[in-house]
Structure 1
Amino acid sequence: MSKVEFERNSKASTQRASGRIQAALLGAVALTAVAAVSGNVIVHPAAAQTSQTAAPAQMVPSFADVVERVKPAVVSVRVKGENTQTSDRQSGGSNFNLPDFDLPEDHPFQEFFKRFRGQGDRNDEGSRPGQPGPRRGMAQGSGFFISADGYLVTNNHVIDKSSDVEVLMDDGRTLSAKVVGTDPKTDLALLKVEEGGPFKFVELAPEAPRVGDWVLAVGNPFGLGGTVTAGIVSARARDIGAGPYDDFLQIDAPVNRGNSGGPAFNQRGQVVGVNTAIASPSGGNVGIAFAIPSETVQNIVTQLKEKGTVERGFLGVQIQSLSKDIASSVGLEKSEGAIVSRLEGDSPAAKAGVKTGDIILSVNGKPVNDARDLSRTVAALNAGSTANLQVWRDGKRQDIAVTIGKMSERSASSTTQQGSGTEMGSLGLRLAPGSTAGGTKGVAVIGVEPGSTASDKGFKTGDVIADVAGQAVETPADVRKALDDSRKGGKKNVLFRVESKDGARFIAVPVPTA
């Protein structure tokens, strides 16, 4: 290669390298400039100077001020008892188990697992961990102070069947606590710490949060203590089948075992709920947690503090929610309210004139959405107070004043019937008089054809038909006549009131053709 050619190629190579460097620098500037416009928190100064039109950086919201204010009021609740088995309710609750790993004794993680399994060098009886023998159980959960004089709230399932309760404070102190009162039906418990105060405490929120509001969960997941997580309110008024008065907030702040009884805060540092349960196939957080709303907590805690127990209002009725078919059959446009399927003898409702088949639409002017809503509303009323019920009866609204009674534990009797009887092929039922099939009033269901209308509507062998279209029935002929009368009256559906070992219920059945 000649000297001229070499110099020409060398110059071209240098120009290409220079061009690549310039392009790379321009690309870097453009990239950081875009980052500045997009609002990222960290922006290189050179990029900000390159673009005079870049929007100012936006800071992500911080919860540090709220956490600093409320965290001292949150405690870890530790419970000791013989063979303590605190339910975790698929929950943020109490007992926790870390997986077993086959690690060498000198492995650095051995101390970690021993610590968070609650194992020291020795257990309560002095035997070494892993040795068989009697030993007291240990459960852990969370709680929070609601007053400077030592009252604190947790879940009932955290301290249930406990013989010894202590709380681990945020400042490291361990203090003894006594149980003031519990309410298993809402899974709440009130404790009292007598010594070591005054205590930092938090307030219950006076109003419910909205779906989409921020919430902070503070608690003791897996025994770690003082852990803070954040999320939003995902839904309200959740019924998860945990108790008769379910009305949970659903939140997506990470909640795990050990968080049970801990608070969920709004951005003002007020408690909007008590973390109680999670929905999880694995037992760990999947973003679906449930908290008892502060309104419920306030009501229960006040009663536990004043009386040590919880009293609930009582009507003395069995009720069920309205289906569209039931609403249509009685002339209501909406399937809202609760229908009275059975009255207890000498109950407050019976004394006031409530009848089987009445649909309770409101209580003291508050609309009733369904049966569970009515149960919660009545339970919150004081025994001896007067409540105004608006009911739907015979196609019109009617007001009834009821003196609320005091709830007590009650059980329903069961009835079963057997034998052969009258076929009602159009519905798929085999019926017999109750007097010949167990000695009860009404008409006994002694057979249900699979795939029939009756089967689809939920009839079961052993049910007793008490009345049809509001008329008491005692024989299969009475049932047939009631159906015929409904068909002649132009009705498309007719109501059966059915009793079983699980209670009474209404079933709307299509009127069969002649």
Structure 2
Amino acid sequence: MLMPWLRVVLLVCVMSSAGMAVAGELPQFTEMVKQNSPAVVNISTKQSISPQKILPDELRSPETDELFDELMKRFFERDGSGGQPFDFDSDSRGSGFIYSQDGYIVTNHHVVKDANAITIKLSDGRELAAQLVGSDARTDIALLKVAATGLPVLRMGKSETLEVGEWVLAIGSPFGFDHSATAGIVSAKGRSLPDDNYVPFIQTDVAINPGNSGGPLFNLAGEVVGINSQIYSRSGGFMGVSFAIPMDIAHGVIEQLKNKGVVSRGWIGVYVQDISADLAESFNMAKPEGALVAQVVLTGPAARVLNQGDVILSFAGKPIANAAALPPVVGSIPIGEAVAVEVLREGKRETLTLTVREQVPQTPKSVETALEQQPAPMIGTLGMQVVNTEAGVMVEAVMGEPARSTGIAKGDIIAQLDGKPLTSAAEFKTIAAALEAGKTVAVLVQRDNSARFLAMKIEANARE
């Protein structure tokens, strides 16, 4: 039988061994930081800032000092002689990394936007003036060039192989502190941010702060798998949610900027939306998936191929999980290439062929109604009153359910009901009268020059 003190010693030994085993599984970043830091740069820019940019009319002092506010407003306004407002230079900082030995450097578009002068600080202390080769606002990527050769470079990796939970490392210059290293894990992939549905961001919990923008995100192999771009924050600092541009997206953009200074990307001319559980039910789908075509540009490549209400399930052999997944896939296809598109149309899977064209600025077809027209009889059904207009069947008033809970508003144009195109208010009422109680149907609504499908639950007596 063991003595009590011996039991304690053995227990301590066992716990220490377990702790060492766990510690041994944690990654060691020291060598990776040593090898890659020389190719990470600090970027500083100078911008000419006008008073309108730094002191908008709605600016107020923290102490709510009305006299101070009025003095500041007068100070920055034009004087009575017609002189120009006072301008001054503002400094901003960011990060970047050396892409090639001959001086190409990658950073974020927003780091160098509107810059009058760009300076690159290398790890050896040298400061070099940089020229902007090209910049792409949509992916937030910019390419710079410095007059230097024999520079250290980083190895590019594939973001597609990243897995949620995998360790990643960032090196950058948060708050101007050069070559700061922070580590964490991949929290999610394919994130679509509210103001950007083109880049499927990598979400991490790596500490990213102002100044980290444009710096590299590494995998454990020391390869660049992303470009740190944005943070989610209510304080202005790190809150555990950071976003990086996937290198699989960035690589093609960088090469285009390097070769021609601008980015040309594929386009098919559709506006898509996500499919909710209710919309999936209305389209008789087993689960919500794919990108729902809400509108087709009449002059676009898809005009004679895709229809409103089609659900794109795969594009060029790549599955489309949601609406956010489609734009980067389309954008990566070479212009002029014909690809296979798998769609769900009226409950049946079909494979169509579509030729990708170069993206050009487009505005959705206008759905503005004619304001001056002869009064038309209103027809009430489904909790709303509709009327014929030159633009189509317009909602004149929302009076009850199910229109109210569906999100239909006065002025909306109802283009389709339950998959059937509408040409008149009378036709709308006829289709509504045939809908079964308890069924969920799709309603195609045009509003503010755009179109969107809404899911409407048909209740008993809703067609009165």
TM-score of Structure 1 vs Structure 2, range by shorter chain: 0.7 to 0.9
> 1:147·1:199 contact (CA, 8 Å) conserved in 2?
yes
Which residue is 1:422 aligned to?
378
> 2:200·2:324 contact (CA, 8 Å) conserved in 1?
no
Partner Cα distance (1:506, 1:458) in 2: 11
2:179 matches 1:226: yes
Equivalent position amino acid for 1:457 in 2: T
How much does 1:30 deviate? 7.8
Q: Decide whether aligned partners of structure 1 residues 56 and 247 sit closer, same or farther in structure 2, where only a CA change above 3 A counts.
A: closer
Alpha-carbon displacement from aligned partner over 1:417-473 (angstroms, at most 9, x marks no partner): 778963535x32121112xxxx31x210122236x3212212122210112233332
Q: Decide whether aligned partners of structure 1 residues 31 and 150 sit closer, same or farther in structure 2, where only a CA change above 3 A counts.
A: farther
> 1:235·1:249 contact (CA, 8 Å) conserved in 2?
yes
Which residue is 2:154 aligned to?
202
The equivalences for 1:38-57 within 5 A come to 38-39=15-16
Which residue is 2:278 aligned to?
325
Partner Cα distance (1:61, 1:388) in 2: 42
The equivalences for 1:309-388 within 5 A come to 309-351=262-304, 353-388=305-340
Moved more, 493-502 or 410-419: 410-419
The equivalences for 1:28-39 within 5 A come to 34-39=11-16
How much does 1:133 deviate? 6.7
Partner Cα distance (1:340, 1:265) in 2: 36
How much does 1:182 deviate? 0.8
Counterpart among 465, 469, 472 of residue 421 in structure 2: 472
Partner Cα distance (1:309, 1:273) in 2: 21
Which residue is 1:448 aligned to?
398
Alpha-carbon displacement from aligned partner over 1:289-342 (angstroms, at most 9, x marks no partner): 111111111121111112211111111122222222222223221221222222
The equivalences for 1:42-441 within 5 A come to 61-83=27-49, 134-195=87-148, 197-207=149-159, 208-351=161-304, 353-412=305-364, 413=366, 415=368, 422=378, 424=380, 427-434=382-389, 439-440=390-391
Which residue is 1:114 aligned to?
none
How much does 1:186 deviate? 1.0
> Residue 234 of structure 1: SS of its match in structure 2?
strand
Partner Cα distance (2:7, 2:406) in 1: 67
Q: Decide whether aligned partners of structure 1 residues 145 and 35 sit closer, same or farther in structure 2, where only a CA change above 3 A counts.
A: farther
Partner Cα distance (2:102, 2:433) in 1: 70
> 2:438·2:459 contact (CA, 8 Å) conserved in 1?
no
Equivalent position amino acid for 2:385 in 1: R
CA RMSD of aligned residues (A): 2.8
Alpha-carbon displacement from aligned partner over 1:117-143 (angstroms, at most 9, x marks no partner): xxxxxxxxxxxxxxx975311110000
Which residue is 2:67 aligned to?
none
Note the residue ranges of structure 2 that are not aligned, 5 or more in a row.
54-84
> Residue 70 of structure 1: SS of its match in structure 2?
helix
Counterpart among 430, 434, 444 of residue 485 in structure 1: 434
Counterpart among 447, 458, 463 of residue 500 in structure 1: 447
Equivalent position amino acid for 1:37 in 2: V
> Residue 193 of structure 2: SS of its match in structure 1?
coil
Equivalent position amino acid for 2:37 in 1: K
Identity %: 35
Aligned residues: 420
> 1:205·1:270 contact (CA, 8 Å) conserved in 2?
yes
Equivalent position amino acid for 1:424 in 2: G
> 1:421·1:446 contact (CA, 8 Å) conserved in 2?
no
Partner Cα distance (2:235, 2:186) in 1: 22
Note the residue ranges of structure 1 that are not aligned, 5 or more in a row.
1-25, 43-54, 88-131
Partner Cα distance (1:417, 1:463) in 2: 13
> Residue 247 of structure 1: SS of its match in structure 2?
strand
Partner Cα distance (1:57, 1:496) in 2: 55
How much does 1:38 deviate? 2.3
Counterpart among 385, 409, 433 of residue 460 in structure 1: 409
> Residue 165 of structure 2: SS of its match in structure 1?
coil
Equivalent position amino acid for 2:452 in 1: R
> Residue 239 of structure 1: SS of its match in structure 2?
strand
Partner Cα distance (2:162, 2:314) in 1: 24
- Larger strand share, 1 or 2: 2
